């Protein structure tokens, strides 16, 4: 993205605050005028005092000059303080508002994106978060630099240059001559430091990552006695950072010294030139101070050039990442308009192929019919494509080819939000939000009454456990055990009360007692609904009316348990292995 590209993208964020911008600009303009007052006053007062001294006059006659200088300079300082306050405050206000809008807009935008966006390579949560954070902070810093640093400094510099040219073209040209030299040195400085700055950033990230790794794996490190090795790894990173910092600092100081030298050459040249003109009678003696002070105003912003250049470079890099996310309009969740009064729940997959955004092909010519108000089990080894089928039925992704129909209408034509309102999803590990149990259950239906929430927990077999907690429904849900959280998620689905339910290994990570209780909750849910269950649990598979067995993204068999079993294929292999792993004979003996 070019500077202009960023500018074009940032404008809409600045527009709502145009009055703040106008105020800041006006104050900046006034501020750049007051910045020249000292030079003008000194010019005038030196000449006036010089005249008096030469005329042999003293304090008595000079009193008015002193009073005038005092009043003007104090008045100017007062005005400058007010302007500087206003200018900084408005600039900062603008920065804060824009920062808030940049952060909020991207969150709102991202929430409208389809799941494919989030599973694309390079869009992993940590990376997205870093891109957003860096984008927002670097752009707000850019806005701050522009309004608080660049604008006042440069407008004051331009005004000072104009005053110098107005007084004497040669002095003006000398001052102007120094500016490009400064630019060139800054350019080389930035170029030289760029690589090292990037290295420093990577090393710092690696160091932070390393510390996080140590803290997260402290148990493993200790159990394998790897403290020294881990310490050594960090030491290498520290050395990298130290070496890098030393080189960076050395280079920066070298260039700073060079720039300072050039600036002082400018000052010397201006002193010589103005002294020459004073001696030649072209200028009065006050002009020497006048020009030196003006030149100081000219060189002030270019002294900051390097910092501004760096910050703009950062903004350029990071804002690109931000706007890439912001402008991904093609990632918007697709939606049709079909919203029937009642959803029956008959799904048909016809020749469905599907590839994940990272290129993994997960389904090959899948055909399935899921009858309404029945239970269908998807069976297969891990990676067979079962969850992918559920992802497609929930419209999280679109098939590459083939069609998916619900109640005879292509899923593409369904209103996406309406469709998901009618589907309940329980996963192996359900997401519990940072909030109370009641809040987590109400996520299924914000309007549910307290009685309905209680009822749902009863159906999910967790009511008694909740009532035994000191804070009952106000307990933080993240403090519950895995099995309890799973039942909270099931209660959430009871509250939602959808006609279609997808259960993706809902009991996989639970202990036997919790599994049995959840089986009861699920049995309660199943009534009169279309249920698709992915499970390795024999009891849950046998309970279903239809079974689809899958392998390598293809449907291998389908039918009732007996039909699939008699086909002597994948289903039978998986079923037999599961039965053997249970050691049914011994279990049966014990139960006798």
Write the binding mask 203 to 232 for ligand ADP: x where contact by CB under 6 A, - elsewhere: ------------------------------
- Among 353, 87, 314, smallest CA distance to 198 is for 314
| Contact (CB, 8 A) for 140 and 243 | no
405 backbone dihedrals φ, ψ, rounded to 5°: -115, 145
CB of 503 to ligand ADP, least distance (A): 12
* Region of 167-175, 385-393, 414-422, 437-445 interacting with ligand ADP (CB under 6 A): 385-393
| Contact (CB, 8 A) for 486 and 432 | no
Pick left, alpha or beta for residue 243 (phi over 0 → left; psi -120 to 50 → alpha; otherwise beta): alpha
Please, which residue, 248 or 578, has the CB nearer to ligand ADP? Answer: 578
Exposure b/e, 452-461, CB count within 10 A at least 16 = b: bbbbbbbbbb
Q: Describe the strand order of the beta sheet including 423-426 as a list of residue ranges.
A: 423-426, 500-504, 530-534, 375-380, 546-551, 554-559
Angle at 117 between CA 401 and CA 205, to 5 degrees: 145
- Residues 278, 283, 289, 293: is their CA dihedral positive or negative? negative
CB of 31 to ligand ADP, least distance (A): 55
CB of 385 to ligand ADP, least distance (A): 4
At 529 the three-state DSSP class reads coil
Q: What part of residues 360-379 is at the interface with ligand ADP (CB under 6 A)?
A: 360, 362
The answer to whether 544 contacts ligand ADP (rule: CB under 6 A) is no
CB of 404 to ligand ADP, least distance (A): 15
Please, which residue, 273 or 379, has the CB nearer to ligand ADP? Answer: 379
Q: What part of residues 95-124 is at the interface with ligand ADP (CB under 6 A)?
A: 119
Please, which residue, 365 or 383, has the CB nearer to ligand ADP? Answer: 383
The answer to whether 590 contacts ligand ADP (rule: CB under 6 A) is no
Report the 10 Å Cβ neighbour count for 395.
22
The answer to whether 382 contacts ligand ADP (rule: CB under 6 A) is yes
| Contact (CB, 8 A) for 200 and 244 | yes
CB of 329 to ligand ADP, least distance (A): 22
Please, which residue, 124 or 576, has the CB nearer to ligand ADP? Answer: 124
CB of 262 to ligand ADP, least distance (A): 56
Please, which residue, 346 or 536, has the CB nearer to ligand ADP? Answer: 536
- Residues 164, 165, 170, 173: is their CA dihedral positive or negative? positive
Alpha helix (H) residue ranges in 217-345: 218-223, 227-279, 286-303, 305-326
Please, which residue, 382 or 468, has the CB nearer to ligand ADP? Answer: 382
CB of 571 to ligand ADP, least distance (A): 14
How far is the CA of 535 from the CAs of 488, 491, 502, 514, in angstroms? 20, 20, 11, 15
* Region of 68-76, 382-390, 432-440, 577-585 interacting with ligand ADP (CB under 6 A): 382-390
| Contact (CB, 8 A) for 504 and 387 | yes
Contact residue for ligand ADP among 62, 383, 402, 559 (CB under 6 A): 383
The answer to whether 384 contacts ligand ADP (rule: CB under 6 A) is yes
Please, which residue, 273 or 534, has the CB nearer to ligand ADP? Answer: 534
- Tokens representing 110? 């991202």
Pick left, alpha or beta for residue 367 (phi over 0 → left; psi -120 to 50 → alpha; otherwise beta): beta
Please, which residue, 357 or 435, has the CB nearer to ligand ADP? Answer: 357
* Region of 217-225, 386-394, 431-439, 576-584 interacting with ligand ADP (CB under 6 A): 386-394
Please, which residue, 386 or 496, has the CB nearer to ligand ADP? Answer: 386
CB of 389 to ligand ADP, least distance (A): 7
The answer to whether 506 contacts ligand ADP (rule: CB under 6 A) is no
| Contact (CB, 8 A) for 101 and 13 | yes
In whole angstroms, give the CA distance from residue 520 to residue 517. Answer: 5
The answer to whether 388 contacts ligand ADP (rule: CB under 6 A) is yes
Please, which residue, 354 or 461, has the CB nearer to ligand ADP? Answer: 354
In whole angstroms, give the CA distance from residue 325 to residue 316. Answer: 15
# binding residues, ligand ADP (CB under 6 A) = 13
CB of 552 to ligand ADP, least distance (A): 9
The answer to whether 387 contacts ligand ADP (rule: CB under 6 A) is yes
| Residue with token string 């101070």 | 289
Q: How many residues does the chain have?
A: 592
Please, which residue, 45 or 388, has the CB nearer to ligand ADP? Answer: 388
Exposure of 359 by Cβ count < 10 A (0-12 exposed, 13-18 middle, 19+ buried)?
exposed
Q: HSE on the CB side for 466, CA within 13 Å?
A: 27
| Contact (CB, 8 A) for 352 and 404 | yes
CB of 15 to ligand ADP, least distance (A): 38
Write the binding mask 333 to 362 for ligand ADP: x where contact by CB under 6 A, - elsewhere: -----------------------x-x-x-x
Please, which residue, 380 or 424, has the CB nearer to ligand ADP? Answer: 380
Please, which residue, 309 or 347, has the CB nearer to ligand ADP? Answer: 347
- Tokens representing 270? 């201006």
| DSSP 8-class letter at 147 | I
CB of 425 to ligand ADP, least distance (A): 14
CB of 435 to ligand ADP, least distance (A): 26
The answer to whether 274 contacts ligand ADP (rule: CB under 6 A) is no
CB of 355 to ligand ADP, least distance (A): 9
Contact residue for ligand ADP among 31, 385, 399, 483 (CB under 6 A): 385
Please, which residue, 238 or 360, has the CB nearer to ligand ADP? Answer: 360
Point out which residues bind ligand ADP (CB under 6 A).
119, 356, 358, 360, 362, 380, 382-388
């Amino acid at each position: 993205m070019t500077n202009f590209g960023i500018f074009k993208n940032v404008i809409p964020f600045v527009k709502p605050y145009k009055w703040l911008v106008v105020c800041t600009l006006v104050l900046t303009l006034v501020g750049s005028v007051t910045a020249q007052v000292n030079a003008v006053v000194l010019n005038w007062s030196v000449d006036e005092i010089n005249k008096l001294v030469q005329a042999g006059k003293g304090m008595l006659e000079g009193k008015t000059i002193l009073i005038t200088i005092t009043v003007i300079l104090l008045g100017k300082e007062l005005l400058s303080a007010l302007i500087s306050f206003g200018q900084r405050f408005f600039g900062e206000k603008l920065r804060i508002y824009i920062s808030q809008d940049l952060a909020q807009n991207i969150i709102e935008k991202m929430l409208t994106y389809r799941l494919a966006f989030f599973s694309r390579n390079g869009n992993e949560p940590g990376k997205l978060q870093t891109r957003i954070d860096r984008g927002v902070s670097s752009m707000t810093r850019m806005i701050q630099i522009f309004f608080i640093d660049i604008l006042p400094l440069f407008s004051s510099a331009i005004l000072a240059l104009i005053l110098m040219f107005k007084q004497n073209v040669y002095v003006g040209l000398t001052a102007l001559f120094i500016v490009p030299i400064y630019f060139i040195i800054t350019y080389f400085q930035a170029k030289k430091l760029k690589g090292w700055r990037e290295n420093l950033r990577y090393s710092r990230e690696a160091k932070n990552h390393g510390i996080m790794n140590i803290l997260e794996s402290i148990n493993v490190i200790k159990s394998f006695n790897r403290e020294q090795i881990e310490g050594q790894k960090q030491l290498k990173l520290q050395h990298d950072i130290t070496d890098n910092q030393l080189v960076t600092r050395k280079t920066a100081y070298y260039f700073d010294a060079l720039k300072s030298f050039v600036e002082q050459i400018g000052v010397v040249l201006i002193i010589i030139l103005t002294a020459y003109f004073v001696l030649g009678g072209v200028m009065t003696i006050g002009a020497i101070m006048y020009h030196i002070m003006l030149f100081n105003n000219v060189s002030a912003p270019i002294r900051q050039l390097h910092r501004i250049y760096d910050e703009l470079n950062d903004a350029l890099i990071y804002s690109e990442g931000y706007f890439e996310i912001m402008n991904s309009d093609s990632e918007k969740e697709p939606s049709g308009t079909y919203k029937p009064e009642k959803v029956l729940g008959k799904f048909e997959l016809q020749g469905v192929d599907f590839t994940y955004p990272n290129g993994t092909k997960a389904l090959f010519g899948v055909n399935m019919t899921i009858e309404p108000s029945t239970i269908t089990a998807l069976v297969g080894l891990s990676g067979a494509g079962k969850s992918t089928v559920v992802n497609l039925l929930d419209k999280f992704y679109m098939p590459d080819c083939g069609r998916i129909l619900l109640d005879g209408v292509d899923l593409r034509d369904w209103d996406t939000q309406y469709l998901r309102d009618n589907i309940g999803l329980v996963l192996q590990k359900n997401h519990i939000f940072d909030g109370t149990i009641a809040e987590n259950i109400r996520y299924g239906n914000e309007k549910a009454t307290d009685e309905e929430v209680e009822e749902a927990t009863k159906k999910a077999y967790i009511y008694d456990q909740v009532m035994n907690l000191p804070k009952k429904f106000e307990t933080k849900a993240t403090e519950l055990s895995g099995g309890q959280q799973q039942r909270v998620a099931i209660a959430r689905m009871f509250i939602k009360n959808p006609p279609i339910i997808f259960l993706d290994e809902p009991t996989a990570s639970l202990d036997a007692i919790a599994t049995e209780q959840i089986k009861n909750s699920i049995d309660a849910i199943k009534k009169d609904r279309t249920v698709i269950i992915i499970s390795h649990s024999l009891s849950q598979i046998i309970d279903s009316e239809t079974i689809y067995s899958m392998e390598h993204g293809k449907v291998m068999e389908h039918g009732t348990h007996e039909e699939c079993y008699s086909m002597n294929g994948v289903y039978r292999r998986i079923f037999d292995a599961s039965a053997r792993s249970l050691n049914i004979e011994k279990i049966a003996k014990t139960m006798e």
